[in-house]
Amino acid sequence: MDNYSHFFYWDGPNRHDLWRNGVEIQEAGKFFPDMMVDEAGKFMAENRDKPFFMYWAINNPHYPLQGKKKWLDYYKNLPSPRDKYAASISTMDENIGDLLKKLDQLGLRENTIIVFQSDQGFSREDRTFGGGGSAGDYRGSKFSLFEGGVRVPAIISWQKHIPANQVRTQVSTNVDWFPTLAAYCNIKMPARKVDGVSLVPIINSNDAKTNHPVFNWQSGGGNANPQWSVLDGDWKLLHNPLESTKAELTPEGYFLVNLKDDPSEKANVADKHPEIVQRLLVTHKAWLEEVFTQ
């Protein structure tokens, strides 16, 4: 959605797409992320005297890359598309800061758990001018199951309850937030099985074991030739990974890597370790059967 006209542009027909509680509203010219800060601030003010949960899915830095003018000016000397992506990121940072200021003004900061969760790697799509973001040393971007597509930032903050300025490297995923927040809020989890596992032990200690010694992904490609990967400790087996070349995959489409030895996923070692390929293939098939029979 365009942040100023609030029209949704894709293949057409294009349409106005701004709503509040199911009612279409007309606010042409207002910057949508600023509107999100205002709406969220009103919600928190109205609910300041009782427990609340707010899922605030800010749209930056998703395309269209429409950063505020002051940030576009600030980054004007960067090459394109880095300039536009950087402006979008700084606009997002500023909007998040504005929302946290509202939390401070309401006197709720110490009694509010804040989670920041990115959903995927940066985009290389045409609508982001082919890139602008960076995954550092990691390979891959949005849609890819290489580390650059799935290893993304997450932050949790709760003043006087969670240690500040700590870093954790254990494997975790966004579904872990549900049981984590439930644990902090003393809310009983449902009896049925959920995919996530509480991160509280890991947040409390860097020595805690990962919740996910084995983890599976599958995305895209249809039923005939899907993209999937399975992580088991340092070993990761990928099938048909996006942003790979046919020449570097096995005839079956496999790419095996040891992330400890090769965190940038540059070399396929599937031919050197066929027994590991087979073991992880069995793991993946067992996971698929569990998913589709639940």
- pLDDT tens digits for range 216-248: 999 876 667 899 999 999 999 999 999 999 999
For CATH 3.30.1120.10, the residue range(s) in the chain are 214-293
User: What mean pLDDT comes out for the span 69-84?
Assistant: 97
Percent of the chain with pLDDT over 70: 99
- CATH assignment of 214-293, among 3.40.50.360, 3.30.1120.10, 3.10.20.30, 1.10.8.100: 3.30.1120.10
Q: What is the pLDDT of residue 149?
A: 96
Measured CA to CA, the distance from residue 201 to residue 181 in angstroms comes to 13
pLDDT at residue 11 in the model: 84
Q: Kindly give, in sequence order, each residue whose CB lies less than 8 Å from that of residue 85, ignoring residues fewer than 6 positions away.
A: 61, 65, 122, 128, 131, 132, 133
Query: Which band of pLDDT confidence, cut at 50, 70 and 90, is reported for residue 46?
Result: very high
- pTM, two decimals, is 0.91
Q: Assess whether pLDDT exceeds 90 at residue 19.
A: yes
CA–CA distances in Å: residue 267 to residues 207, 236, 244, 252: 30, 12, 11, 16
Q: Write down the pLDDT at residue 225.
A: 82
Q: Where in the chain is the domain with CATH 3.40.720.10?
A: 31-170
- Crossing angle of the two packed helices 82-105 and 32-46, in degrees rounded to 10: 20
Asked if the 31-170 domain carries CATH number 1.20.120.1770, the reply is no
Tokens found for residue 161? 């309850």
- The mean pLDDT of 99-114, rounded to a whole number, is 96
Provide the pLDDT for residue 291. 84
Instruction: Give residue 294's pLDDT band: very low, low, confident or very high (50, 70, 90).
Output: low
**pLDDT at residue 212 tops 70:** yes
In tens, the pLDDT along 200-210 reads 999 999 999 99
